[in-house]
Amino acid sequence: MSCSLLEFCRLQELRTVRDYLFQNQKTEPVEEKKDTDDQLTWDTSDWESAWESGDKEEEAAATTTAEEEPTGQTGPWLQDCVVSLSPCSDLLVVAREQKAVFLSAKWRTDDSGKEEMTLAVSWTGTLSTEEGECVSSCICIPLASQKRSSTGRPDWTCVVVGFTSGYVRFYTENGVLLLAQLLHEDPVLRLKCRTYEIPRHPGVSEQHEELSILYPAALVTIDGFSLFQSLRACRNQVAR
């Protein structure tokens, strides 16, 4: 079995993402002072004259060394984060504990004159509002426009985030909170979205739009049309 890898975009400012999400693990430079008895330095400015006269002078001086420990994560730090990429590949969310970083698509021209898409940091902030809760799951849902003149491309992308407190919150691409619902008191394990699909075979019912939220002992399903109407109303309210 073989496959080919196709590059469709590049990530920028990964160091910025890592430093922001793991900034609590940074360590400050540590200064270590050693005794003068441990290290001696010799003053050789007048070594020749002292050698000829037979007089040797010895001088001890203290030295201070500063050693800086590595900052941040050096291992595979993305494995400790919750990562979600939009199906349109225009928004990437990287979250850890209470914080999150949104990376949006931008086009640029490289040295050879070829245009390429990159994902750059567009928003950073704290998503948690309840004390002690952390991000446990995340999903990016593109929402299409209902205007007749629309070309069919998504109008905006909704970021759905599940927390260990059981809350499910909905955000815009700029990190603005639109809606929050406490559907269960257990941690959110996984989020999954289904889009409308026509029946492919006779006797098979059509698949409706819905958002599924998995808990340790429960599965909650939200109707997609009702959720879309609520999110659109909240977004219009925020825009005002």
Chain segment 6-21, per-residue pLDDT in tens? 777 777 788 888 899 9
State how far the Cα of 185 lies from the Cα of 155, in Å rounded to an integer: 33
- Domain count within the chain: 1
Strand 30-33 with 64-67, pairing: antiparallel
Is 85 domain-assigned? yes
Q: Is the pTM of this model over 0.95?
A: no
Cα–Cα separations (whole angstroms), residue 86 to 16, 110, 152, 154: 21, 24, 16, 11
Is 102 domain-assigned? yes
In one-letter notation, the amino acid at residue 125 is G
148 within 8 A of 154, measured Cβ to Cβ: no
State how far the Cα of 107 lies from the Cα of 37, in Å rounded to an integer: 61
pLDDT tens-place string over residues 149-194: 556 677 889 999 999 999 999 999 999 999 999 989 899 999 998 8
Neighbours of 119 (CB within 10 A): 21
Is 37 domain-assigned? no
pLDDT tens-place string over residues 20-45: 998 876 544 444 444 444 444 445 55
Whether 123 shows a pLDDT value over 60: the answer reads yes
Is 152 domain-assigned? yes
Is 220 domain-assigned? yes
| Domain carrying residue 223 | 10-21+77-239
Q: Up-side HSE of residue 217: CA atoms within 13 Å toward CB? A: 3
Is 197 domain-assigned? yes
State how far the Cα of 127 lies from the Cα of 5, in Å rounded to an integer: 34
State how far the Cα of 13 lies from the Cα of 92, in Å rounded to an integer: 13
Q: Which residues pair with 84 in a beta bridge?
A: 93
Is 125 domain-assigned? yes
State how far the Cα of 168 lies from the Cα of 137, in Å rounded to an integer: 9
Is 130 domain-assigned? yes
Over residues 134-160, the mean pLDDT reads 81
